[in-house]
Amino acid sequence: MTAAHRGFKVRQHKPWKLWAGLLFVVGLMAGVFVFGQIWQSYELERLKLERETLLARIGELETRNSKLVQKNAHLSGSSKIERDAYEVANKELVNLQQQLLEQKEELAFYRGIVSPKDAELAVNLQSFEMRRKNSQNQFSFKMILTKSGKGTRKIYGGADIRIRGENGGGVEELKLTDLRLDNPGKDTKFAFRYFQVFEGDIALPDGFEPFEVEIGIKPTTKKVKSFTETISWARVLTEGV
């Protein structure tokens, strides 16, 4: 005898579950995108507010600075009281002018970040400086890159930094990445929306006398131009750029 025929199983198809899952994923992605846009707008507004605060602070410092200059001009007598008052006022003036300089430098930094919306998308070399660490040809470097243009777009690329100098009567060119003490060979790649800071320590070879630094900025983001800037070693070491 043959086994009894059990018939066919009928499975119920529920396409609504598939559509619900797809809608959930799409909604989640949309939510993440909107949150990202809101957060970027918040960051940009925060930077703008800090810039406005700096402007107000600089105005206040400039007013105080002007009054101190006038006060020092009046304290030109020869009495000990006047001389003591002049010294106190002069110290305050020097301190105030230093604060003013720092505030203006910070304002210049924010100007590099908070640019007009219609400005061309670009990378800016905000600053580059070297500071001697000791007498063994060791230095600390610091480079800040900022972006101009639309604040919501991220810029990618890399920086090629080379130090030229004399060595044994000839000119030699050294890559900064090969000189690093903290992380030898580390690439100076960048990826930022507003700014990025590079810092590290280097050691120059014995007998090497640097005379200039060449910084090549090479963005990989479309329509963002590359550029190269050459700065004398004396300027980088004493002032920064």
Digit-coded pLDDT (tens) for 20-29? 777 777 777 7
pLDDT class for 189, splitting at 50, 70, 90? very high
User: CB–CB of 75/82 below 8 Å?
Assistant: yes
For 58-68, write each residue's pLDDT tens digit: 777 777 777 76
Residue whose structure tokens are 């990202």: 36
Residue found under tokens 């700014």: 195
- Domains in the chain: boundaries: 39-113, 122-238
Can you say how many angstroms the Cα of residue 204 is from the centroid of all Cα atoms in its chain? 25
- Minimum mean pLDDT among 56-60, 81-85, 146-150, 182-186: which range? 81-85
pLDDT score, position 80: 61
Cα distance between residue 40 and residue 171, in whole Å? 47
Which residue has better confidence, 113 or 1?
113
Query: Which of the residue ranges 37-46, 125-134, 145-154, 218-227 would you say has the lowest mean pLDDT?
Result: 37-46
Higher pLDDT, 75 or 63: 63
- pLDDT value of position 7: 53
pLDDT value at 96 more than 90: no
**For residue range 229-240, what is the model confidence (pLDDT) as tens digits?**
999 999 888 655
The answer on pLDDT for 107 being more than 50 is yes
Q: How far, in Å, CA of 238 to CA of 241, rounded?
A: 10
As a whole number, mean pLDDT of residues 149-154 equals 72
Q: Is 179's pLDDT higher than 90?
A: yes
Residue 170 has pLDDT above 50, yes or no: yes
Number of DSSP helices (H) and strands (E) in the chain, helices first: 4, 8
pLDDT for res 16? 64
- Sign of the Cα torsion 15, 19, 25, 28 reads negative
Architecture of the domain spanning 122-238: Sandwich (2.60)
Distance (Å, whole) CA 173 – CA 206: 14
- Summarize the confidence of residues 94-123 as an average pLDDT: 66
Report whether pLDDT(81) > 50.
yes
Kindly report the average pLDDT of the chain as a whole number. Answer: 77
Q: Report yes or no: 139 and 132 within 8 Å, Cβ to Cβ.
A: yes
